[in-house]
Amino acid sequence: MAKIKPVPPENPGWLVKAANRYSRKRLGRELEPTSILGHSSAILGGYAAFELAQGRATRVPARLKAMAEIKAAMMVGCPF
């Protein structure tokens, strides 16, 4: 559970809507961090750019990136 309340669903803003739509399409549900980061459009935009660049990076094989994501999620107790 986050210490900061997410952006209210009745007034999320266009960037939060786009991020939630993308996460629903990609992962099947909306992620809480996008709604929390939606309080600042600059931070949410930077986060989105970082995630996009990380996803498009090709120096490391995709399988190794996936294994690193799973290991990091296990270390912090993420349900993904």
String of DSSP letters for 3-54? SSPPPPTTS--HHHHHHHHHHHHHHSS--HHHHHHTT-HHHHHHHHHHHHHH
Residue with tokens 């600042």, as numbered in its chain: 40
Q: Considering the entire predicted model, what is its pTM?
A: 0.67
Summarize pLDDT for 26-58 with one digit per residue, the tens: 888 888 888 888 888 899 889 889 988 988 888
Task: Name which of 26, 28, 34, 27 is nearest 9 in CA terms.
Answer: 34
User: Does 57 reside within a domain?
Assistant: yes
pLDDT at 2: 66
Residue at 9 is within a domain: no
Q: Let me know if residue 26 belongs to a domain.
A: yes
Domain total of the chain: 1
Range of the domain at 24: 14-76
CA 52 to centroid of chain Cα atoms: 10
**Could you read off the pLDDT of 2-26 as tens digits, one per residue?**
688 888 777 888 888 888 888 889 8
